[in-house]
Structure formats: structure tokens, C-alpha cells
């Protein structure tokens, strides 16, 4: 069921660019790479891995996109990166490759984790500084869209883009351990369909992706380490969004005379989250009979109710039905 759209009138037209790589930011990135290169752990990542010389015959099979500190620094000098995030993601590829090829208790894995921590700490400072001078003015939920796109582009996010195919992977206990599966593509679809009532709902689902990985694999595993890095990166970017929203929180779409108000639609949406699957199906059938325009086909067998398109008569009937079902459930639980 699609949430009432509080932001439909303020969404950015297309392709807003956050943190473009201007000259001051370029100098900061260059200084960051020079500082990383000076660290003792960086000795393993300064140049491309000479896998032939080292006899690492499996390296090109496992590592499809080699990267190193020297190459990133060289590309900075050639103005290769359009955005801060482009630079960051190519640098993160260095650590990802080390995580994939080496065991968590190995020297190389630990060195990559140490450098990743130092890099992300520096990124936190640069993002805050870039945010302070940013002229970008877009709706808060559009900022969530930008953040999700950046997380999906992060090379470390490779394992979290789609639902975990626990059957194909032979993870027979996955559904017993993970009761609320979540992935980044599902979050993207929910954003597109305006199913999040607030940025907090979006953040909850995104954090769930990484927490599930840590819960199932342990924080010390490769997947757990990567999930922890992504979670921290997400949280600091999300903090910038909430800070910007506090300055300019935006306004809901104006209520239309003769149509349900935003507060009424939010009440219906909140009640629907408490319905059983059978009751939800019955509600959808009710909407299909009374207001076909509010029903959208989202797949071969999946439909969605857009509460913003419900006329007042159908809305009142649905609200009465949902209110009765949830009241009965509360009494039964007591």
C-alpha cells in the first residue's frame, strides 16, 4: 500500500548533484590520499597487485576490478572524478578487493580495515564541510533517493543490492534467523512508490539490511565487517539529511477540498500496517470495486493501493473496514 505523499509537490526535477568535485574539494581528496599512502598499512596497496609475480593465480578470477592508492591519486590529478562520492567509491574498491581475497584474520584484511576506518573518518569531515557550503535545495525524501543511489553505487554494497537467495545459497536456517529480510533494491522500489511516510522509515529499512548481515554472519566475518562499514557510512550521511531537514523541513502537499486530508490518509496507512494478509486482500478488493483509479498493478500478481487517489466515499468505507478489523484484533489480543 502506498503511503500518502507528503512531498509530491517539492521533488527535484531530475538528477540533482550532491558534493561536486570542485577545486577546494579536489585538494582535500589529494591530501587525504597522500596521508593514507604514508601509513604503514598502505604499503600493500600503493601499486597494482602483481599477482603473477606473487603466484596468486586466483586473483584475476576473484578480483574483477583491481584498484590501488596510486591509481586513485593519479586519477585525481587528471580531474577524473565528478563527485566526491565517485572518488570515495573508487577508493573503497581497494579495501573491498582486499576483503574478498584475504581471510578476516589475515594481515592484508586487517590493514585494509584500518585504512578503511581512517578513510571513512576523513570522509565524514569532508562531507560535513561540503554540506555546509552546498547550494543544493531538494526535498528531504529526494535526498534519501540520492543517498540510496550512493549506497548502491558503493562497491561494498554488492552483496546487499538484491534479496538474499537463501535457497540457491543453501542457507537453510536463514528465514529462522532473519525474520525481516530487506535489501537495497526493495528499498528503492518503496521509495519510488512513496511507501515511506518519513525519512525515519527509510532509514529503518536501510539499517535493517546491514543489521541482518551482521546478525546472520557475525560482526567479525567478511560480510559483517563490510555491513558495519556501510552502516556507519549511511548513518553519517543520513545525519546530514536530518540536519538539513531541521533547517527547512518542507511542507506536505496541500489538502484538496472534498478529498481525504493528509492526516486522515496517514491514519489509514498506520492502521493498514496492523492488518493480516487476508484482511489486506479484502481491503484491496473493496478499493477495486469503489475506486479502480487507486489500484496500481506492480507485478504479475502484486497490486498496490495509492491512498492519494482514494475518493472520499471509498476512503470512508475503507477506513471503517480497517478500523473495525484493527479494533477486533486489539480486543482479541487482550
- pLDDT at residue 311, as a whole number: 84
List the grid coordinates of 155.
562497491
Q: Give domain status of residue 2, yes or no.
A: no
Q: Give domain status of residue 231, yes or no.
A: yes
- pLDDT at residue 247, as a whole number: 55
How far apart, in Å, are the Cα atoms of 291 and each of 224, 284, 306? 46, 10, 10
Do 118 and 30 lie in one domain? The reply is yes
- pLDDT at residue 140, as a whole number: 87
CB atoms within 10 A of CB 224: 18
- pLDDT at residue 245, as a whole number: 65
Do 115 and 15 lie in one domain? The reply is yes
Do 102 and 20 lie in one domain? The reply is yes
How far apart, in Å, are the Cα atoms of 170 and each of 174, 209, 215? 9, 20, 17
Do 19 and 46 lie in one domain? The reply is yes
pTM, whole model, 2 decimals? 0.70
For residue 315, what pLDDT band results from cuts at 50, 70 and 90?
confident
Do 249 and 279 lie in one domain? The reply is no
CATH number at residue 40: 1.20.920.10
Which of 254, 281, 308 is the last residue in one of the domains?
254
Do 95 and 213 lie in one domain? The reply is no
- Which H or E run includes 264? helix 262-272
Of 92, 104, 77, nearest to 23 by C-alpha is 77
Q: Give domain status of residue 217, yes or no.
A: yes
CB-facing half-sphere around the CA of 37: CA atoms within 13 A? 15
- pLDDT at residue 171, as a whole number: 93
Please report, in angstroms and rounded to a whole number, the separation of the first and last CA atoms in the chain. Answer: 28
Between residues 70 and 250, the one the model is more confident about: 70
Do 128 and 143 lie in one domain? The reply is no
- pLDDT at residue 291, as a whole number: 82
Q: Is 266 left (phi over 0), alpha (psi -120 to 50) or beta?
A: alpha
pLDDT in tens, 79-113: 999 999 999 999 999 999 999 999 999 999 999 99
pLDDT in tens, 8-54: 333 333 457 789 999 999 999 999 999 999 999 999 999 999 999 99
How far apart, in Å, are the Cα atoms of 96 and each of 108, 137, 139, 294, 305? 11, 33, 32, 44, 41
- pLDDT at residue 259, as a whole number: 81
Do 128 and 11 lie in one domain? The reply is yes
Cα–Cα dist 4/280, whole Å: 17
For the chain, helix (H) and strand (E) counts, in that order, are 14, 2
Which of 112, 135, 158 is the last residue in one of the domains?
135
List the grid coordinates of 96.
573491498
pLDDT in tens, 111-132: 999 999 999 999 999 999 998 8
Which of 135, 163, 195 is the last residue in one of the domains?
135
Q: Give domain status of residue 243, yes or no.
A: yes
Domain enclosing residue 278, as ranges: 262-333
CB atoms within 10 A of CB 182: 20
- pLDDT at residue 330, as a whole number: 46
Pair type for strands 303-305 and 295-297: antiparallel
- pLDDT at residue 254, as a whole number: 52
- pLDDT at residue 36, as a whole number: 96
Between residues 201 and 294, the one the model is more confident about: 201
11 neighbors 253 (Cβ within 8 angstroms): no
For residue 278, what pLDDT band results from cuts at 50, 70 and 90?
confident
Q: Give domain status of residue 242, yes or no.
A: yes
List the grid coordinates of 304.
498496490
pLDDT in tens, 141-196: 889 999 999 999 999 999 999 999 999 999 999 999 999 999 999 999 999 998 99
- pLDDT at residue 265, as a whole number: 80
Number of domains in the chain: 3
Sign of the torsion formed by the C-alpha atoms of 197, 203, 208 and 209: positive
Compute the average pLDDT of residues 284-309: 73
pLDDT in tens, 237-271: 999 888 876 655 444 445 667 788 877 887 887 78
Q: Give domain status of residue 1, yes or no.
A: no
The residues, any chain, with a CB within 8 Å of residue 24's CB and separated by 6 or more, are none
Do 120 and 211 lie in one domain? The reply is no
Amino acid at each position: 500500500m502506498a503511503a500518502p505523499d507528503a512531498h509530491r509537490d517539492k521533488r527535484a526535477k531530475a538528477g540533482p548533484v550532491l558534493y561536486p568535485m570542485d577545486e577546494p574539494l579536489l585538494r582535500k581528496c589529494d591530501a587525504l590520499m597522500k596521508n593514507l599512502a604514508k601509513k604503514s598499512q598502505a604499503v600493500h596497496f600503493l601499486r597494482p597487485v602483481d599477482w603473477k609475480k606473487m603466484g596468486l593465480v586466483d586473483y584475476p578470477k576473484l578480483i574483477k576490478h583491481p584498484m590501488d592508492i596510486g591509481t586513485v591519486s593519479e586519477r585525481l590529478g587528471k580531474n577524473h572524478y565528478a563527485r566526491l562520492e565517485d572518488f570515495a567509491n573508487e577508493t573503497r574498491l581497494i579495501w573491498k578487493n582486499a576483503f574478498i581475497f584475504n581471510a578476516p584474520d589475515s594481515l592484508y584484511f586487517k590493514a585494509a580495515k584500518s585504512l578503511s576506518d581512517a578513510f571513512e573518518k576523513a570522509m565524514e569531515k569532508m562531507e560535513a564541510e561540503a554540506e555546509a557550503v552546498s547550494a543544493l535545495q531538494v526535498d528531504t525524501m529526494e535526498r534519501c533517493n540520492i543517498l540510496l543511489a550512493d549506497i548502491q553505487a558503493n562497491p561494498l554494497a554488492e552483496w546487499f543490492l538484491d534479496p538474499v537467495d537463501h535457497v540457491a545459497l543453501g542457507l537453510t536456517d536463514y528465514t529462522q534467523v532473519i525474520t525481516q529480510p530487506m535489501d537495497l533494491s526493495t528499498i528503492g522500489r518503496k521509495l519510488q512508490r512513496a511507501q515511506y511516510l518519513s525519512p525515519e522509515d527509510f532509514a529503518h529499512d536501510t539499517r535493517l539490511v546491514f543489521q541482518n548481515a551482521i546478525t546472520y554472519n557475525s560482526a567479525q566475518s567478511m560480510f559483517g565487517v563490510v555491513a558495519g562499514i556501510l552502516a556507519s557510512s549511511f548513518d553519517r550521511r543520513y545525519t546530514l539529511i536530518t540536519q538539513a531537514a531541521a533547517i527547512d523541513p518542507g511542507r506536505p502537499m496541500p489538502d484538496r477540498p472534498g478529498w481525504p486530508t493528509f492526516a486522515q490518509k496517514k491514519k489509514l496507512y498506520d492502521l493498514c500496517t496492523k492488518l493480516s494478509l487476508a484482511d489486506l486482500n479484502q481491503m484491496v478488493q473493496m478499493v477495486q470495486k469503489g475506486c479502480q483509479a487507486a489500484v496500481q498493478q506492480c507485478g504479475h500478481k502484486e497490486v498496490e493501493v495509492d491512498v492519494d487517489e482514494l475518493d472520499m466515499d471509498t476512503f470512508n468505507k475503507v477506513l471503517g473496514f480497517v478500523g473495525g478489523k484493527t479494533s477486533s484484533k486489539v480486543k482479541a489480543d487482550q
